[in-house]
Chain A
Amino acid sequence: MTRHTLSVLVENEPGVLTRVAGLFARRAFNITTLAVGPTEHPEISRMTIVVDVDKHPLEQVTKQLNKLVQVLKVVELEPDSSVQRQLMLVKVRADELTRAGVLEVVTLFRAHVVDVVPDAVVIETIGTHAKLTALLAALEPYGIKEIVKGGTIAIGRGAKSITDRALDRPKPTAG
């Protein structure tokens, strides 16, 4: 099993998320993260879906996604040629004795403290999956109380836009 990041351009209409999520569920794929949001075109939304799956079943699910009428384009973004970011909020134990150590980790990772109380801090960071994992490992000894992660969002490097291409060209669908 390998990790894959799919960018799925969809019509901004009700029910699309259910259809897309339903396809993954039917094939018993576990979605690792999912992020949905509007794009520069008001009628188009973009989903970024991260899944752990083998190549062949991924190809099948990509074809099935393309069959959905409201799906305009499906692109797999390779890690080398895309920028991938995830937002994380983490609540860490930090009292008078340990706060300095925690703040040092925050500085090293170029993260931010967004809330402080006498015995804990909330840290905000944005980064790749690897950076988030490393930060959590560094904070682990202090005592992690709560983790919240957003879905990964990803964009291809370079000047090309997949949204423009999605609007120009017919997708390979058969319905």
Chain B
Amino acid sequence: MAHANPSPAALAQPASPQPPAPTTSSVPTTNTAPVSPASVAAVTTSSVAAVDVPAPSGEVMTGAQSLIRSLEEVGAEVAFGIPGGTILPAYDPLFDSQKLRHILTRHEQGAGHAASGYAHATGKTGLMIATSGPGAANLVTAIADANMDSIPVVAVTGQVGAAVIGTDAFQEADIVGMTMPVSKHSYLVKDPAEIPRTIAEAFHIASTGRPGAVVVDIPKSALAAQTTFTWSDDVDLPGYRPITTPHSKQVREAAALLAKAKRPIIVSGGGILRSGAWDEMRALADLSQAPVTTTLMGRGGFPDSHPQHLGMPGMHGTVAAVAALQKADLIVAIGTRFDDRVTGLLSSFAPRATVVHADIDPAEIGKNVRVDIPIVGDAREVLQELVPALKAEFAAGNQADLTAWWRQIDSWRKTYPLGYSTPTNGQVAPQHVIERIGALSGPDAIMVTGVGQHQMWSSQFIPHEKPRTWINSGGLGTMGYGVPAAMGAKVGCPDSTVWCIDGDGCFQMTNQELATCAINDIPIKVAIINNSVLGMVRQWQTLFFNERYSNTDLHTGEGSVEIPDFVKLAEAYGAVGLRCNRLEDVDATITKANEINDRCVVVDFRVATDAFVWPMVPAGVSNDEILYARGMSPVFDRTEV
């Protein structure tokens, strides 16, 4: 360890909150306006200019104050987190901040998913804060989740004092090491002077290029030490220069292929939402007349109601979207990564298609699917060039006739629409509940889900019309994502209705954040699609494990022991608890929930246990083997088109 000056008082303090306090309270008084960094900065700047000091030395303060000032300067408005021993010095100046609101969650994982939900809904960078060891470790799932879905978040964690790092000190965990494979970048900041630059870099890296999660781990010694604060927005990272502008020649080739393709399909991914390219995507669709499919992460980036929209591709995609990809002669994929849930068995994916793949991450291009025209660039910039290039092709008379292709697609759409059957035993179909929540809440409502059957049904049966109104955990598939992410979304968009459509399994993983919502006036609505089981796992047990239901019964549903009682649980958290177990009450219950806006609402929708997500491409098989319903496969003429 290079630190030869282990000032023990500052370094290895046990969880005693006192020591940093005197420094923190004494320093701001010299500024007289510790809560107004802008004015302080202005004073500093003008005095520097007046005296003409060559190098501004910055203000003297603690590392903790420098951290909070840096977060304010970088524009962070909300932090979700939980204090603890090593991060305590930072919570003291945070207490005074007028710019940075902190929301105390009930679990660090909740803080992480809330930051992600906030980032999803607003397009800004989410911020989570935790202490060292268990606090930081509890963030790991949320960090991995955000990173995999390309959601910009920054995690600030406390660390044990620099002098004791590596000694298995109390609450020590190597969070930088733990998160290395699941984050975009990470920092361990031992020198307090590095805090402002690191925070500027962390937010820059998280939010630019392919967005992701950045971890900033700061030892308590650096937070407690005296330092100088100097802010600069300039970030100099020679090893990080994302390419956003596409290669024009590649774009022109893509346009030429799209103009002459007889069976084209556009895949619109999550990158459309990250780059704000929904208008441009719409323009490409309208001009090209090609069918469009939106991936799970890309739902809402192109409106479901558009006549060219085929729905979602992949494992639980529509027959029309899956079949169109399989039969296409050209795929134009923008801002998407050809996840295995989309491609099915890779060797038989879209066998006849020429592939144009545009993404901001060069490593995604050619990773899974072989690509004919690779385009590295920001989705919006790619589309801004592609649309005029296609116009030029059309003007030159190059335009294929898509009539036969649309006739084929329409026959798939007509024969195999999305649908579900109504249970004959009087139970409520879960799909019906979800469909009605979508219909009665309108296109501006933000829909957040957990992971499982309810997530797939929400993707399928809610009309996704607007960008950034569909929030879910796609890549990592994190059960329990819903409640905290909905909380984060509501904080970011307080005027929007925010529904968390959750499963009875997911809800029990993170429902304690209802306390956070109640205390901080974050009125979200939760619909528990309570089928009493881990539904998606059970579906697989039904289909692939001979109906042997090993450990999937949660005993929460109608007629079981009903533990916990979700209505009482909701009431215990200060929320309105409602229950609905009859088809005829579904609409009235949703309407009632939509009318309550001063508190959280939790609705226990008792639904049928044996409802399945259809269509389905079983894992590891060809997309040609899509099942429309159990034992029912669409008949594709393998030689057609």
Residues of A at the B interface (CB closer than 8 Å) are 10-11, 14-15, 18-19, 22, 26, 59-60, 63-64, 66-72, 166-167, 170-175
Give me 9 A-to-B residue pairs in the complex whose CB atoms sit less than 8 angstroms apart, sorted by A's number. A66-B362, A66-B363, A67-B363, A68-B185, A72-B239, A170-B243, A171-B239, A174-B210, A174-B363
- Complex: chain A residue closest to B243, CB-CB: A172
Complexed CA–CA distance, A26 and B361 (Å) = 18
Complexed CA–CA distance, A174 and B375 (Å) = 12
Q: Are B367 and A174 in contact (CB under 8 A)?
A: no
Minimal beta-carbon separation of A107 from chain B (angstroms): 46
Partner of B180, one of A14, A18, A167: A18
Known contacts: A63-B363, A66-B362. The answer to whether A72 contacts B238 by CB under 8 A is yes
Q: Are A174 and B360 in contact (CB under 8 A)?
A: yes
Q: Are B188 and A15 in contact (CB under 8 A)?
A: yes
**Does B303 belong to the interface (CB within 8 Å)?**
no
Minimal beta-carbon separation of B361 from chain A (angstroms): 4
Q: Are A173 and B242 in contact (CB under 8 A)?
A: yes
Q: Are B241 and A173 in contact (CB under 8 A)?
A: yes
Complexed CA–CA distance, A14 and B187 (Å) = 10
- Complex: chain B residue closest to A9, CB-CB: B239
Known contacts: A18-B180, A66-B362, A67-B363. The answer to whether A175 contacts B238 by CB under 8 A is no
Q: Are A69 and B239 in contact (CB under 8 A)?
A: yes
Known: A175-B184, A175-B185. 11 other contacts (CB 8 A): A11-B239, A15-B176, A15-B186, A19-B180, A66-B362, A66-B363, A67-B363, A69-B184, A69-B239, A174-B363, A175-B361
- Complex: chain A residue closest to B201, CB-CB: A69
Minimal beta-carbon separation of B182 from chain A (angstroms): 10
Residues of B at the A interface (CB closer than 8 Å) are 176-177, 180-181, 184-186, 188, 205, 208-210, 212, 237-243, 359-363, 366-367, 376
Partner of A69, one of B177, B185, B243, B363: B185
Complexed CA–CA distance, A49 and B129 (Å) = 37
Complexed CA–CA distance, A68 and B185 (Å) = 7
Known contacts: A22-B180, A175-B208. The answer to whether A70 contacts B363 by CB under 8 A is no
Q: Are B188 and A14 in contact (CB under 8 A)?
A: yes
Minimal beta-carbon separation of B639 from chain A (angstroms): 31
Q: Are A60 and B362 in contact (CB under 8 A)?
A: no
Q: Are A69 and B361 in contact (CB under 8 A)?
A: no
Minimal beta-carbon separation of A128 from chain B (angstroms): 31
**Chain B residues with CB below 8 A from A173, complex form:** 209, 239-243, 362
Name the prevailing secondary structure of the A interface residues.
mixed
Complexed CA–CA distance, A2 and B367 (Å) = 20
Complexed CA–CA distance, A174 and B184 (Å) = 10
- Complex: chain B residue closest to A70, CB-CB: B239
Complexed CA–CA distance, A175 and B363 (Å) = 9
Minimal beta-carbon separation of A74 from chain B (angstroms): 11
Number of A-B contacts (CB under 8 A): 72
Q: Are A69 and B181 in contact (CB under 8 A)?
A: no
- Complex: chain B residue closest to A170, CB-CB: B241
Minimal beta-carbon separation of B563 from chain A (angstroms): 41
**Chain B residues with CB below 8 A from A175, complex form:** 184-185, 205, 208-210, 212, 240, 242, 361
Complexed CA–CA distance, A69 and B202 (Å) = 11
**Chain A residues with CB below 8 A from B181, complex form:** 22, 26
Minimal beta-carbon separation of A12 from chain B (angstroms): 12
Q: Are B361 and A174 in contact (CB under 8 A)?
A: yes
Residue of B181, B212, B239, B240 with most partner-chain A CB within 10 A: B239
**Chain A residues with CB below 8 A from B177, complex form:** 18
Complexed CA–CA distance, A29 and B508 (Å) = 39
Complexed CA–CA distance, A174 and B186 (Å) = 16
Minimal beta-carbon separation of B386 from chain A (angstroms): 19
Partner of A68, one of B209, B239, B243, B376: B239
Complexed CA–CA distance, A38 and B243 (Å) = 29
Complexed CA–CA distance, A67 and B360 (Å) = 11
Partner of B238, one of A15, A18, A167: A167
Q: Are B180 and A174 in contact (CB under 8 A)?
A: no
**Chain A residues with CB below 8 A from B212, complex form:** 175
Minimal beta-carbon separation of B218 from chain A (angstroms): 15
**Chain A residues with CB below 8 A from B239, complex form:** 10-11, 68-72, 171, 173
- Complex: chain B residue closest to A61, CB-CB: B363
6 closest Cβ pairs, A-B complex = A63-B363, A170-B241, A175-B209, A174-B361, A69-B240, A69-B185
- Complex: chain B residue closest to A64, CB-CB: B363
Minimal beta-carbon separation of B271 from chain A (angstroms): 11
Complexed CA–CA distance, A6 and B184 (Å) = 22
**Chain B residues with CB below 8 A from A14, complex form:** 188
**Chain B residues with CB below 8 A from A170, complex form:** 241, 243
**Chain A residues with CB below 8 A from B238, complex form:** 11, 72, 166-167
Partner of A67, one of B176, B186, B188, B361: B361
Complexed CA–CA distance, A166 and B210 (Å) = 22
Minimal beta-carbon separation of A110 from chain B (angstroms): 40
Minimal beta-carbon separation of B377 from chain A (angstroms): 9
**Chain B residues with CB below 8 A from A59, complex form:** 366
- Complex: chain B residue closest to A56, CB-CB: B366
**Chain A residues with CB below 8 A from B359, complex form:** 174
Minimal beta-carbon separation of A138 from chain B (angstroms): 44
**Chain A residues with CB below 8 A from B208, complex form:** 175
**Chain B residues with CB below 8 A from A22, complex form:** 180-181
Q: Are A63 and B362 in contact (CB under 8 A)?
A: yes
- Complex: chain B residue closest to A16, CB-CB: B239
Known contacts: A26-B181, A174-B210, A175-B205. The answer to whether A60 contacts B237 by CB under 8 A is no
Partner of A172, one of B184, B186, B376: B376
Complexed CA–CA distance, A166 and B241 (Å) = 12
- Complex: chain A residue closest to B241, CB-CB: A170
- Complex: chain A residue closest to B363, CB-CB: A63
**Chain B residues with CB below 8 A from A70, complex form:** 239
Complexed CA–CA distance, A11 and B180 (Å) = 17
**Chain A residues with CB below 8 A from B210, complex form:** 174-175
Complexed CA–CA distance, A59 and B365 (Å) = 11
Complexed CA–CA distance, A173 and B360 (Å) = 9
Complexed CA–CA distance, A173 and B243 (Å) = 7
Known contacts: A11-B239, A174-B242. The answer to whether A69 contacts B205 by CB under 8 A is yes
Complexed CA–CA distance, A70 and B240 (Å) = 8
Q: Are B362 and A174 in contact (CB under 8 A)?
A: yes
- Complex: chain A residue closest to B360, CB-CB: A174
- Complex: chain A residue closest to B185, CB-CB: A69
